[in-house]
Amino acid sequence: MRCERSWLLISLLGVACAACSHGAAGTSATETGPLATLRESVLASSQALETVRSLTDEAGPRLSGSPGNQVGIAWAVRALGEAGFSRVHTELCAVPHWERGVEEGAIVEPSAQPLALAALGGSVGTAPEGLTAEVIEAASLEALDKLDPAAVKGKVVFFSGVMERTRDGSGYGAAVRPRGSGASHAAKLGAAAMLIRSVGTDDNRAPHTGALRYDDAVPKIPAAALAIPDADVLHRLLAQGKRVRVHLKLGARTLPDAEGANVVGDVEGSAAPGEIVLLGAHLDSWDLGRGALDDGAGVAIVMEAGRQIGKLAHHPRRTVRVVLFANEENGLRGATAYAAAHAAELDKHVLAIEADLGDGRVYEARFLGDPASAPAFRVVAAAAAPLGVLASGDDAHGGSDLIPLVAAGVPAMDLRQDATHYFDFHHTANDTFERVHKADLDQAAAAFAAAAYAAADAPGDFGRVPADKRHRD
């Protein structure tokens, strides 16, 4: 306990020092030491952007089970090796294999015109000839549940709720519920199919796909996301009291599981190599775009953070491990497999941080761990303070791929990225290299590098996540 207190004192001095230049976008000219070197080296490099380019040009989309996913795995092994990581290896796992197939949509009444849509991940297809049915609109799951089942039966349920644009991406959580469970809600009422207004904030003709979850107790019905301008045409026509019928043809299908892999590389710790600070991102992506923001940018951020730490003359005490997870988008099989394969050493995982919000600048750090470790967390956050990162509370989310680790008690840190524009492109064909902004990506990579170093070099650890905070929706 005494030991921990003296560490706290040192740590708090560190906070005060780092806070001198707090809020600046760059680093202080007077600051020295490995943290300053790290931040400056990341900001001066073009490697993070080049990583996104290389991944997206060479592998392209990387949906679990697709050829691009395999190309991505081979790319990651090569790229981690070239970046100087140790013990680069794959950890195989079975992943879902869902294919989109052909898809067509059209309004057929009141007059015919095409609809831009994309099946939701995991959706069943329609019959080969498609289906044609009247549309009934509901703003939300709750609004649907209030409708007379007789009015819904045989129709295409159209969820028209609008996602709000926010810096922290909170509009997504609020709007995404019909995507996840709307098909089964609609099927319970006898609907023939389900459409949603894409969960996004743009007005491009680019539908936002994303995974759904079927309730096994009701029939599986086809489900797709409409591009926002197309959803808005339906909404306007229906608002005028017009009878609207649509035709849908979806070739989506689920095949037997395929082989996927987490790709892992280490920057070996200098004093306690068996203790691990994990930096995670996911290598898979949806099929429509090229997975540049989601999650090529995250891959680039954690790889660049690890690469720059590895280049330091003296490595931090603990190992910094980069894990490029399989199958974040539609199954979390990679996250589950990692936690299972490393179950025996999870108690040596002292902190995990995930990058999965594109190229957004990091504006805030928050924590999930032993509340007694909050001061230690603040020291880690302070390492990124010269980049404009504020330390906040102990309510970290952790990220999807960290769910099984947090469930096992591994502390997590959120380096929260600005998501103001992320949901303009997320899960769409527009998620390409062109969307990635170098300066923002570099700031995020610098923040991850500094925080990872500080955590890996910290004298103490961060305890364990209390049992009552280990599970979340």
Mark 273-292 with x for binding to its own copies (rule: CB under 8 A) and - for no binding: ----------------xx--
- In this structure, the strands spanning 193-197 and 223-226 are parallel
Q: Does 190 sit near its own copies (CB under 8 A)?
A: no
Residues 109 and 243: beta-carbon distance below 8 Å: yes
Residues 247 and 104: beta-carbon distance below 8 Å? yes
| Residue 59 near its own copies by CB under 8 A | yes
433 lines the binding site for its own copies (CB under 8 A):
yes
Q: Is 200 in the site for its own copies (CB under 8 A)?
A: no
**Alpha-carbon torsion, ordered 9, 11, 12, 16, to 10 deg:** 140
- Is residue 328 part of the annotated active site? The answer reads yes
Shortest CB 332 distance to its own copies, Å = 24
| Least distance CB 53 / its own copies (angstroms) | 7
Q: Taking the complex as a whole, how short is the minimal distance between the CB of residue 65 and its own copies, in angstroms?
A: 14
Structure tokens at 307: 């690469």
Determine which one of 275, 328, 354, 364 is catalytic. 328
435 contacts its own copies (rule: CB under 8 A): yes
Q: For residue 105, give the nearest of 188, 229, 240 by alpha carbon.
A: 229
Least separation in angstroms between CB 120 and its own copies: 19
Closest distance to its own copies from the beta carbon of 457 (Å): 38
**Residues 217-236 vs its own copies: string with x where CB under 8 A?**
-----------xx--xx--x
- Among 31, 22, 39, 81, residue whose Cα is nearest residue 452: 39
∠98-104-107 over CA atoms, to 5°? Answer: 140
- Are the C-beta atoms of 179 and 329 separated by less than 8 Å? no
Strand partners, 452: none
Q: Please report how many Cα atoms fall inside a 13 Å half-sphere around the Cα of residue 237, on the Cβ side.
A: 22
The answer to the question of residue 165 lying near its own copies (CB under 8 A) is no
Closer by beta carbon to its own copies, 53 or else 188: 53
Among 73, 88, 116, 419, binds its own copies (CB under 8 A): 116
Q: Tell whether residue 68 is a contact of its own copies (CB under 8 A).
A: yes
7 Cβ contact partners less than 8 Å away, ≥ 6 residues apart: 376, 458, 459, 460
Q: Which residues pair with 97 in a beta bridge?
A: 255
297-311 and 47-58 helices, crossing angle to 10°: 130
Task: Out of 34, 43, 52, 60, point to the residue binding its own copies (CB under 8 A).
Answer: 60
Residues that bind its own copies (CB under 8 A): 53, 56-61, 67-68, 71, 107, 110-114, 116, 203-206, 228-229, 232-233, 236-237, 289-290, 428-430, 432-435
Which positions are annotated as active-site residues? 328
